[in-house]
Structure 1
Amino acid sequence: MAQTYILLWFAIVLCVARVLLIGRRPKGYPPGPPTIPILGNIHQMPTRDAHLQFQKWAQQYGPIYSLILGTKTLIVLSSDEVVKELLDKRSNNYSDRQEMYIGQTLCSNDLRLLMMGYGQRWRAFRKMVHALLNISAAKSYVPYQMLENKQMLYQMLHEPDRFLENIRRYSNALTTSMVFGWRTPTYEDASMKQLFDGFSEFAAINQTGTAALIDFFPLLRKLPDFVLPTQKKAKDLHKHEKELYLGHWLAAKKAMSDGTIKPCFCVGMAEAQKKDGFSDDQAAYISGTLLEAGSDTTSSTLYAFVQAMLLYPDVQRTAQAEIDKVVGPDRLPTMDDEPSLPYIRGCVKETLRWMPTTILGAVPHAATKEDTYMGYTIPAGAGIMNNVWAINMDPTRSPDPRKFDPSRYINDTQSLSESAANPDATKRDQFTFGAGRRICPGIHVAERSLFLGMSRMTSAFNFTPMKHPETGDSILPDQDSLTQGFVCMPEEFQVKITPRNAKKAELVRREWEEAEQALLDPVTKQWVESPAETVGAEKI
């Protein structure tokens, strides 16, 4: 009997000891802030402006540090060289994802490509996406980009107080054209509103402390939804999101059957579905999350650029002077002007550096196998974070990093993708698009959308502060006030948008009216025929 009690107490002590080991940083791991039993560093995770705390830890613990989050480990990469070495050069080991129960299982039913684990399934779907968005395909979308840009400028001319809505419609319509073959002619489109609202809710749910606890302590998943309402919110979001994405996909399939669909990604995906047999739900999420990503990040970056023009009027004047010299007064810039507008190219790169939408690398990568780097152990299954904000704001890379200065890139002739692939990490422009095999596949399309958006807005309009109605003082936004979530943008701000002169206003008006009359159905406002079959980019 005594022996039984001794064994029982020994088992209890052993269990307690093992539980107390949870949350401790094992010997040999990269350094990091002190931990406490069970939680590790969870109690230190910020609820707002997480990027600032991750930057502070990088300054304290170096370019690679670790956070112990309950039962999981997060390795944070905070220098260009570390990201290049691990995420790029060792990408075969650093392209996986940790399990994300709230984001991938409940919100997405394991269908969201962004959070999908690395393997044959992910690689096959990524290959399809690459076919839509590679450099050759990106050039063919310029007619779509030009048309949507013309409508955006026209709406800025007539509805300057709705410029965020106009920017969002621009990026959304371009993405629906590429993915589904139809455009979004108005911001009041219910599907577009649902998309932006749904993505905001998705980001908010996945930022909650409850979501993190459920990820880090899997036993909590057995609790009912009334105890953990985040779980119910995630399930409800998936239901509505799936309805939206599946509706778009099935409508595209019907248009294919009717022979009315325009060239787009869904045509190729339908062929792949016949060959590989994946479900309509999976196809819906692949196309839907492409729409999600293309709509949100481009519009957020353009919104940040408008804020920069407001806060840095000297930059605005320099950009306008370059455009006036190269393009002249009688037209607005096109993609053909890009090589001759290095300062505008610098504006694209600087906006992505200065106000990164994926401020902490969006979703962390994960290590497939244990590895060692700089003498540290990186365990299998550890999350690997690309600390974008800390790298983009590194003063050794970008002196006075919170200053918006496109001249940093005046001699940088690389495209965004060429820069990301540069073997010299110090020569990479910014890290907002990610790295390795998980780098954003839309980088080629985004670069063109951003160049056209920035160059043509700056050519046509002045961006100046609104005035306080009582004091007459300029109302300027705080450039460090950002929305919260794993994808962010500046908090909403006011700006006065006016045409630079009457000739510019007439250019904007005429370009859109001529394009609308020549290319779109007068009732539906959809393309009458495929732009690839009817007209080149230079003619619209």
Structure 2
Amino acid sequence: MPSSVTLLALYAAIALSLGVGVSRLLQIGRRSKGLPPGPPTIPILGNFHQIPSKDVHLQFQKWAEEYGPIFSLILGTRTLIVLSSDQTVKDLLDKRSAIYSSRQDAYVGQDLVSGGLRVLLMKYGPAWRMIRKMIHNILNISAARSYVPYQDLENKQMLVGLLDSPSNFIDHLRRYTNSLTTQMVFGFRTTSINDPKLQQLFHGFEKFAEANSTGGALALDLFPVLRRLPDFLVPLRARAKEIHRKEKELYMGHWMDVKRRILNGTAKPCFCVDLVKAQETEGLSDDLAGYTSGSLLEAGSDTTAATLTAFVQAMIVFPEVQKRAQQELDEVVGPDRLPTVDDMDNLHYIRCCVKESLRWMPTNILGVPHAVTQDDEYMGYRIPKDAGVVLNVWGIHMDPNRHPNPRQFDPSRYAHDFQSLGEAALNSDPSKRDQFVFGAGRRICQGMHIAERSLFLAVSRILWGFNMEKLLDSNGVEITPDIDKLTQGLFVGPEDFEARISPRSAKHELLMRQAWDDSVASLLDKDMQWKEVPKGMALSTYTPTAKVEEEVE
């Protein structure tokens, strides 16, 4: 039998261990010394309980107003640094991009939904740099100019779609952006708004965005011990795995099909040719190749379509903007031809409409959090290694000091801004950056140069050819969409709304139909695919050993 002294020592050791354990547990959720200010925390949860279940961007905006351009949130075991001014974004994400370009662990979004393969959520490292290098090859400024024939063709089909079934305008906008991307990535056109793979892509991306931003997903990220719970206690795990199954089926189906065509010599030039080269030289797996091509597909399809949907909403809510834009088009282009990308320099107000659409409805509303890879200091504050860093896009865009009356759709904000989107992103003066939808630093969206032309063509031609008005209810009363009702998730857009879209005149309609008919007759085969790929495309030109400089330092 142990002596009483031994028992007392044992009890004391147990008590001490429990005390230390409880003390350490209670430290979780506390804001440690030196961090940027933020809302008061409670033990264990920190600020987790203050994150709303919807419209998170509005809460972040309020905190930015209260705590300033850089504040911190303590979410269980994690620290989140929120940047809510153009200067803080420039100083950290751009100028210190070497250490601010990684990602935090995303158990639901990356591990479960994406099988660890989604480029968007991939940590900074050799695999990410290799993929970025390949993507840079087809999306850089010079390459982007070569895709205008694709954009022009898809835009003309979109216009005819709006003529034939204007109530399906969202579907036509989505097919436009999706078909451009499928041509660049896989070498084929998406010819119908009813294409099941088109519908599956947008539906699946919505599910991914929702799953990645739920309270359950956040809890599993912040408290890893919860991942040990059985599936019946974590129903989100089963849903996430099912999203992954369907998503992988779509992406791998596209990839394996085009890979077979590449290897037998029947594929058209496309990005996947570069992926096959990478498989041969760098051992890229089929799973990673499938998700890399799929990531490009979702990135090129969803956000541009959501921006165009927001543009349509803005036109019916702010009809004075539509009228002024159409006046510019009538003066510069006239009624006898469609606008083209060659008109960009002479249609400054239309370009302003594009910039304002991106500012007014930022689809990447809080960005995708970066992660810092080493301890840092800024403005006297400590930023710890592995902290998440959020680009508060909504907060910056809706800052009345930067953009007076921010919920007003007002393209004249950019009357003196003649920069391209890329030039604005790289401007050494952050106050002169137009918007932050495409991110910052080494994680900046490389597709912005293509998106800019796609948006310009769509905005200019829709305004040239159509009037957009509020729909009338059964009593003849106009139905005004609520501009503050947004979809929820990692990426957002306007909630569904209705619009009355009609051609400006019979002549405008005739010209739009004739433009599409001429394109079909001269460019497309019986399956509505290109007879021949236009010359000069910056596709299938990747050299695995080439070096690519980082775009933003």
* Residues 112-151 of structure 1 mapped to structure 2, 5 A cutoff: 112-151=118-157
In the alignment, structure 1 residue 521 sits paired with structure 2 residue 491: no
Q: Distance in 1 between matches of 2:97 and 2:359?
A: 23
Q: Distance in 2 between matches of 1:454 and 1:399?
A: 24
- Does the Cα contact within 8 Å between 2:483 and 2:494 map onto a contact in 1? yes
**Any idea what the Cα deviations from partners look like across 1:106-137, whole Å, max 9, x if unmatched?**
11111100000001111111011111111111
- Matched with 2:85 is 79
Which of 384, 402, 407 in structure 2 is aligned with 1:379?
A: 384
The one-letter code sitting in structure 2 at the alignment partner of 1:88 is D
SS at 2:354's partner residue?
Answer: helix
The one-letter code sitting in structure 1 at the alignment partner of 2:500 is K
- Matched with 1:457 is 462
- Matched with 2:167 is 161
SS at 2:74's partner residue?
Answer: strand
Which of 422, 428, 445 in structure 1 is aligned with 2:450?
A: 445
SS at 2:11's partner residue?
Answer: helix
* Deviation for aligned residue 1:484: 0.6
Which of 468, 482, 486 in structure 1 is aligned with 2:486?
A: 482
Q: Distance in 2 between matches of 1:2 and 1:224?
A: 39
- Matched with 1:341 is 347
* Residues 96-111 of structure 1 mapped to structure 2, 5 A cutoff: 96-111=102-117
Q: Distance in 1 between matches of 2:149 and 2:127?
A: 33
Alignment RMSD, CA only? 0.9
The one-letter code sitting in structure 2 at the alignment partner of 1:447 is E
SS at 2:233's partner residue?
Answer: coil
- Matched with 2:238 is 232
The one-letter code sitting in structure 2 at the alignment partner of 1:455 is S
SS at 1:74's partner residue?
Answer: strand
Q: Distance in 2 between matches of 1:10 and 1:411?
A: 67
**Any idea what the Cα deviations from partners look like across 1:328-366, whole Å, max 9, x if unmatched?**
1100100000000000000010000000000111x1000
* Identical-residue share of aligned pairs (%): 59
SS at 2:73's partner residue?
Answer: strand
The one-letter code sitting in structure 1 at the alignment partner of 2:392 is N
**Any idea what the Cα deviations from partners look like across 1:383-429, whole Å, max 9, x if unmatched?**
00000000011111111111111111122111001100001000000
The one-letter code sitting in structure 1 at the alignment partner of 2:335 is P
* Deviation for aligned residue 1:517: 1.5
Structure-2-length-normalised TM-score: 0.95
Which of 384, 393, 402 in structure 2 is aligned with 1:388?
A: 393
* Deviation for aligned residue 1:257: 2.2
* Deviation for aligned residue 1:278: 1.1
Q: Distance in 1 between matches of 2:427 and 2:270?
A: 31
- Matched with 2:509 is 505
**Any idea what the Cα deviations from partners look like across 1:161-190, whole Å, max 9, x if unmatched?**
110000000010000011000010001111
SS at 2:382's partner residue?
Answer: strand
- Matched with 2:404 is 399
Which of 61, 64, 67 in structure 1 is aligned with 2:67?
A: 61
Q: Distance in 2 between matches of 1:14 and 1:461?
A: 70
Residue-pair matches, total: 531
Q: Which moved more, 1:4-13 or 1:300-309?
A: 4-13
* Deviation for aligned residue 1:301: 0.3
Q: Distance in 2 between matches of 1:415 and 1:9?
A: 65
Q: Distance in 2 between matches of 1:452 and 1:90?
A: 35
* Deviation for aligned residue 1:276: 0.3
- Matched with 1:13 is 19
SS at 1:207's partner residue?
Answer: coil
- Matched with 1:367 is 372
* Residues 168-317 of structure 1 mapped to structure 2, 5 A cutoff: 168-317=174-323
* Deviation for aligned residue 1:260: 2.1
Which structure 2 residue ranges, 5 or more long, are not aligned? 1-6, 538-553
The one-letter code sitting in structure 1 at the alignment partner of 2:422 is S
- Does the Cα contact within 8 Å between 2:202 and 2:302 map onto a contact in 1? yes
* Deviation for aligned residue 1:143: 0.4
Which structure 1 residue ranges, 5 or more long, are not aligned? 535-540
SS at 2:93's partner residue?
Answer: helix
The one-letter code sitting in structure 1 at the alignment partner of 2:380 is G
* Deviation for aligned residue 1:69: 0.4
Q: Distance in 2 between matches of 1:304 and 1:73?
A: 33
**Any idea what the Cα deviations from partners look like across 1:484-538, whole Å, max 9, x if unmatched?**
111000011111001001110001110111111211112x11111112279xxxx
- Does the Cα contact within 8 Å between 2:146 and 2:536 map onto a contact in 1? no
Q: Distance in 2 between matches of 1:162 and 1:51?
A: 29
The one-letter code sitting in structure 1 at the alignment partner of 2:509 is A
Q: Distance in 1 between matches of 2:185 and 2:164?
A: 29
The one-letter code sitting in structure 2 at the alignment partner of 1:496 is R
Which of 482, 493, 497 in structure 2 is aligned with 1:493?
A: 497
Q: Distance in 1 between matches of 2:520 and 2:263?
A: 28
Which 4+ stretches in 1 moved above 4 angstroms? none
Q: Distance in 2 between matches of 1:507 and 1:261?
A: 34
C-alpha spacing 1:533/1:60, structure 2 compared with 1 (3 Å): closer
